[in-house]
Amino acid sequence: MEPTLLKGRETQIYRKGKEPFAIECDKQSLAGAVSQRACVFCGSRVVLYPIADALHLVHGPVGCAVYTWDIRGALSSGPELHRLSFSTDLQERDVIFGGEEKLKNALLELIERYQPNAAFVYSTCIVGIIGDNLDAICKQVEAITGIPVIPVQSEGFKGNKRAGYNAACRAMFRLVGTGDTSDISPYSINILGDFNLAGEIWIIRQYFEKMGVQVVANITGDGRVADISRSHGAALNVVQCSGATLDLAKMMQDTYGVPFERVSYFGVEDMAEALYKVARFFKEEPEILKRAQLVVREELSVLYPKLLEYRKDLEGKKAAIYVGGSFKAFSLVKAFRLLGMDVVMVGSQTGTKEDYQELQEITDEGTIIVDDSNPLELSSFLQEKDVDIFVGGVKERPIAYKLGLGFCDHNHERKEALEGFEGMLNFAREVHSTVMSPVWQFMPRRTGK
């Protein structure tokens, strides 16, 4: 295999078993390296956008807004304002004379047209350069319209996606603490870090509700402004995923004393553990734990026999994982194990040192662990390890298909719910349907033609 590593990238790749564990991460992407990463704006857009009754206005040229128009499957049970793409569509004259006037008029116009419960205004690269005073405009519009108008400081070049998560959390934190909490149960939680892709939050909420736990706010999938504004009244924050909303949980802990637990809803073990964690938190009410056990037992009795069917076919097949956040990667490693498959490569765009440490602990000898990778590296790893399935997002999909191997979309664009016990079954079905497809038999990778 041709060495495809760029100088300056070696330290971000680790092969388990070779040397003592060491990996660098959280670095600025290397110029010219075709990173799979996006920008700060992207990070905050991902987190905030599922709030369905808020207006999301992108202040910038048209590109940033069109490329994020309804690209993610965050579903709403009511309003769908989040699925539209609003932009101030800055033009040359605005770049010269400033875009504040335009922003103000756009906000007034859109708020009047759609009557949202709040507005988020995202700054993009160019706004950072021309120096529009977002804060001032938002304040003015807030005074006129009477709804929260919140600037999101998300200039694309000021860091990576992770910085965008932080900007989003700071923006949401302005809503928290403004709503009435009087009718909230002592056994209540907020669901943080789930975006309701393909309706996943509806599955999770249902488990919690069966346990007798009240869900105050979904942050942010199927999210509502009013719920978030009273979310500080919940007894516990349940945070999924490595980074997206962790900052908000921390802020809420510091300011309102709401503790948090980190969980994952992917895979059987992690899903069950998520429910138990919450149940254990409410230990003064032992019924909750009993009900949680009941939920898990019921779900598993349906799930296991079906999983075993898939496992028969999938035993010994090889999987590679490259996802945005590394927390998801842990669950995926376990989920593949449950299906009898070996994970031979795992990586993420934004993992931390601790994340990678943990990955190296749970993976097998020889597994490649990689931070902030790119198409050339990924394709060479896939070929080297001769994998049967690659798990990633839209940008990774054509790499897998071009090489004639299976793929599972585990990113924001997925249309199948993969969380929860039902999600595990969907996942198994999807993995099965791609790994077992006869089409790969005809691919040049296998036939040499």
Partner 1 sequence: MKHTAKLKTGHPYISTTNACKLCKPLGACIAFRGIEGTMPFLHGSQGCATYMRRYIISHFREPIDIASSSLSEKHAVYGGGSNLKLGLNNSIDKYAPTAVGVATTCLTETIGDDVSMLLREWRVDADAECPNPEIPVVNVSTASYSGTHMEGFHAVVRETIAQVALTDAPIPPSQDEDVKIGIKPLNLMPGFVSTADLRHLRDVCEDFGLEPTILPDYSDTLDAPVMAEYEKLTSGGTSLQSIRQMPRAIASIEFGRVLSACGHTGGELLQEKADVPLYAMGMPIGVRESDRFFNTLSRLSDRPIPRRHDLERGRLLDAYADGHKYVFGKRAIVYGEEDLVVGLTAFLSEIGIQPVLCASGGSSGYLKDAIAAVTDGLLREAPQVRDDVDFFDIAQDALTLKPDFLIGNSKGYSFAREQGIPLIRVGFPIHDRMGGQRILHLGYRGSQNLFDLTVNAIIAKKQRDSPVGYGYI
- When CB distances are held under 5 to 8 angstroms depending on the partner's kind, the choice from partner 1, ligand SF4, none that residue 394 binds is partner 1
According to the binding rule CB under 8 A, does residue 147 interact with partner 1? no
Q: What is the C-alpha separation between 49 and 54, in angstroms, rounded? A: 8
Distance in Å, CB of 125 to ligand SF4, minimum: 3
* φ, ψ of residue 239 in degrees (nearest 5): -110, 125
389 counts as binding partner 1 under rule CB under 8 A: no
Q: What are phi and psi of 170, to 5 degrees?
A: -65, -40
CB distance 82 to 56 below 8 Å: yes
Q: Is 64 in the site for ligand SF4 (CB under 6 A)?
A: yes
CB nearer to ligand SF4: give 46 or 341. Answer: 46
Residues whose CB falls within 8 Å of the CB of residue 91, separated by 6 or more in sequence, listed in order: none
Using CB atoms within 10 Å of the CB of residue 413, give its burial: 0 to 12 exposed, 13 to 18 middle, 19+ buried.
middle
Please count the other Cβ atoms lying within 10 Å of the Cβ belonging to residue 233: 21
State how far the Cα of 167 lies from the Cα of 45, in Å rounded to an integer. 10
* Residue 108 in the binding site for partner 1 (CB under 8 A): yes
Residue 356 to residues 16, 63, 345, 361, 370: CA-CA distances in angstroms?
A: 11, 34, 12, 9, 8
Cα–Cα distance, 103 to 62 (Å, whole number): 13
Instruction: Find the part of the chain contacting partner 1 (CB under 8 A) among 28-36, 206-214, 239-247, 339-347.
Output: 28-36
Give the nearest distance from C-beta 45 to ligand SF4 in angstroms: 9
- In the complex with ligand SF4, which residue's Cβ is closer, 88 or 363? 88
Strands 318-323 and 214-220: unpaired
- The closest alpha carbon to 343, from 324, 369, 380, 306, belongs to 369
Beta carbon nearer to partner 1, 18 or 113: 113
Q: Which of ligand SF4, partner 1, none is residue 90 near (CB under 5 to 8 Å by kind)?
A: partner 1
The two three-digit tokens of residue 261, written as one number: 């637990």
Would you say 24 or 422 has its CB closer to partner 1? 24
Nearer of residues 41 and 322 to ligand SF4, judged by Cβ:
41
Which of partner 1, ligand SF4, none interacts with 91 (beta carbon under 5 to 8 A by kind)?
partner 1
Looking at the Cβ atoms of 62 and 362, the one nearer to ligand SF4 is 62
Q: Which of residues 80-139 bind ligand SF4 (CB under 6 A)?
A: 124-125
Determine the Cα–Cα distance for residues 281 and 423; give it in Å rounded to an integer. 25
Residues 154-213 that bind ligand SF4 (CB under 6 A): 156
CA distance 369 to 13: 6
Footprint of partner 1 on residues 181-200 (CB under 8 A)? none
CB of 104 to partner 1, least distance (A): 9
Q: Give, for 216, the enclosing helix (H) or strand (E).
A: strand 214-220
Rounded to a whole number of angstroms, the minimum distance from the CB of residue 32 to ligand SF4 is 16
- Neighbour tally for 273: CB within 10 Å: 16
Q: Contact letters (x/-) for partner 1, 206-235, by CB under 8 A?
A: ------------------------------
The residues, ordered by sequence, that sit 6+ positions from 207 with a Cβ below 8 Å of its Cβ are 275, 295, 420
Among 85, 140, 181, 293, which residue sits at the site for partner 1 (rule: CB under 8 A)? Answer: 85
Name the residue nearer to ligand SF4 (CB basis): 41 or 281: 41
Q: Is 109 in the site for partner 1 (CB under 8 A)?
A: yes
Instruction: Establish if 94 lies at the interface with partner 1 (CB under 8 A).
Output: yes
Minimal distance, residue 93 CB to partner 1, in Å: 9
Question: How far apart, in whole angstroms, are the C-alpha atoms of residue 225 and residue 51?
Answer: 7
Angle between helices 286-314 and 268-281 (to 10 degrees): 170
- What single-letter DSSP state applies at residue 11? G
Residue 436 touching partner 1 (CB under 8 A): no
Binding partner of residue 399 among partner 1, ligand SF4, none, CB cut-off 5 to 8 Å per kind: partner 1
Binding to ligand SF4 by CB under 6 A, coded x per residue (else -) over 333-362, reads: ------------------------------
Measured CA to CA, the distance from residue 210 to residue 216 in angstroms comes to: 15
What is the nearest approach in angstroms of partner 1 to the Cβ of residue 57?
7
Q: By CB under 8 A, what part of segment 111-140 binds partner 1?
A: 112-114, 125-126, 128-130
Residue 110 and residue 104: Cα distance in Å, rounded? 10
Q: Report how many residues bind ligand SF4 under the rule CB under 6 A.
A: 7
Give residues in contact with ligand SF4 (CB under 6 A): 39, 41, 60, 64, 124-125, 156
